[in-house]
Amino acid sequence: MGLLVPILLALLASLFGGFYLLGAFRKQRPGEPPLDRGPIPWLGHVLEFRRDTAKFLERMKQKHGDIFTVQLGGNYFTFLMDPSSFGAVFKEARTKLDFSAFARKLVDRVFHFNQIEHSKNQFHVTNNRHLMGDGLVLLTESTMKNFQNLMLHSIGKGGDQKTWIEDGLFMYSYNIVFRAGYLSLFGNVSLREAGSTEKSFEMDRIQSDELFTEFHKFDQYFPKLAYGVQSPRERIEIRKLLRLFWKTLSLQVVKNKENPSDWVREEQQTTERQGMKEFMQERCMFVMLWASQGNTGPAAFWLLMYLLKNPEAMAAVRREVDRVVTESGQEVRRGGPIINLTYDMIQKSLILDSALEETLRLTVAPVLTRAVMENMNLKMSDGRAYQIRQGDRISLFPYTAVQIDSEIHPDPLSFKYDRFLNPDGSKKKDFYKNGKKLRYYTMPWGAGVSMCPGRFFAMNELKQFVFFMILYFDFELKNPNEEVPDIDVKRWGFGAMQPTRDVGFRYRLRF
Ligand code: HEM
């Protein structure tokens, strides 16, 4: 009996401690946003969140309004759904709201890459230097050459050029755009290795195609990996894929390539200088491949899909593409030189820009998250203020909060290629909610410190792809009545969404 009481007390204390750690006793304090811990201790709402993030957040918004805190897998996330208040998050000092603390964990879990804080800062410099400004002009030029090799290599080679080729539009677009991006960033097979230019082009085509097949396998595991819910068999398969990417992107392999981008070369030099272990440098390269290629290919699919389903939009883009080529003094003709599609040319296509922006509005849906580094006061645009606790996270899901809000974008689920154009043909930037002009009216690239540094390069790649498709190919849906497929809800939160199924199409060279 003498021992029983202390044992019982100890048991009770550890039970209590366990529940405390599981977040079972957390209560909404005065001044805090509404708190919804969810049905399962510690896990909270994570199952419903993972099943369909957009639907879950809409349900929470209906229940609690435009700010609320939910428990997801042991962490508390405050979701802010009012776009007029987004500035409060993006302008907050890094000492209070930190992007990298959260991103680091994800990158570690998915890619086994541990970032060094200093290299992260240097990475920002590298991004700005080589993915924007003059660096971007060089990169755009090498991307054009790679698109030409991948898409137009058989022109003028004889044989039956005019046969229709059937494919899935998603796989076709993802494949071509991935390979052009990969070759432009990580370099081409060198002349030394291949023996001739022709052979090096061919090796680029074959090797990049093989790499895409493996990348696509990894990509399909990505949502499970991000949530850490793979089966043991999947873990083994993923490990195998990772090893392949690490080997393919190793220092030695990339150093032997011709013309790797300055973006990749500078990052390699930085990490080497900082004494990062070689195996970690390889992992860093795969993170860069993932960041640069995981979204652009799927976006290319949606863009072509919407153009194919909207003849008026396709005709307007086609007219613009033809005008830009004519103004450059070039002409697409049988036996003539392949169009030299320069950086300047693709900056002159405002209709295509708008169609692209509209595509991204409808199909890119990241969850943007910041770690709360110290207790803070979050001020909303209407004057309300909320206390947010240190250790929590603040998240935004602009897809429902902004991109498909019918007040900001009337008829929000329809594709309107000219939604981002003013009547005079200039870029439209004025969008309103509650009578207030919005700074953030579509956010496929995120915002603030972590805003996608590759956005200009990605837009250029997508436009180059459309230019070459329109200039050199006839292409059509196999079934003209085919509907635009649904979005696969498993990928909410990770950037560009993917379709639930592929769509049959056919294409053939026009010349
Ligand atoms: C359609 C294509 C793309 C989309 C929709 C996209 C979207 C995004 C988004 C939403 C983020 C911010 C994530 C956050 O704040 O949590 C991001 C970050 C990033 N993106 Fe992109 N991206 C695309 C293409 C690219 C390309 C082509 C590159 C490189 C060449 C690139 C490089 C990066 C990098 C390095 C980051 C991390 C930035 C940081 O850590 O501060 N992206 N991207």
- Which residue ranges form the domains of the chain, and what is each CATH number? 4-112+368-398 (3.30.43.20), 117-153+168-367+399-509 (1.10.630.10)
308-347 pLDDT tens trace: 999 999 999 999 999 999 999 999 998 899 999 999 999 9
pLDDT at 257 over 90: yes
| Residue 393 assigned to a binding site | yes
| Residue 510 assigned to a binding site | no
Structure tokens at 47: 């199952």
| Residue 51 assigned to a binding site | no
Torsion of CA 139, 145, 151, 155, to 10 degrees: 170
Strands 75-80 and 35-36, bridge-based pairing: unpaired
368 lines ligand 1 (CB under 6 A): yes
Calpha distance 509→163 (Å, rounded): 8
Q: Across the strands, what pairs with 457? A: none
**Nearest ligand 1 atom to alpha carbon 364:** 5
Q: How far is the CA of 291 from the centre of ligand 1 (A)?
A: 6
289 lines ligand 1 (CB under 6 A): no
Computed on alpha carbons and rounded to an integer, the radius of gyration of the chain in Å comes to: 25
Q: What residues have CB less than 8 Å from 111, skipping those under 6 apart?
A: 242, 283, 286, 287, 290
**How many separate helices (H) and strands (E) can be counted in the chain?**
20, 13
Average pLDDT, the chain: 93
Element (H, E) at 368: strand 368-372
| Residue 333 assigned to a binding site | no
pLDDT at 7 over 80: no
pLDDT at 450 over 60: yes
**Nearest ligand 1 atom to alpha carbon 447:** 15
pLDDT at 45 over 70: yes
- pTM of the predicted model over 0.85: yes
The DSSP symbol for 77 reads E
pLDDT at 220 over 70: yes
**Residue 117 confidence (pLDDT):** 55
Strands (E), 194-282: none
Q: How far is the CA of 455 from the centre of ligand 1 (A)?
A: 7
Q: Whose CA is nearest to atom 7 of ligand 1?
A: 445
**Residue 94 confidence (pLDDT):** 87
Q: How far is the CA of 248 from the centre of ligand 1 (A)?
A: 22
138-181 pLDDT tens trace: 999 999 999 999 999 988 777 667 789 999 999 999 999 999 99
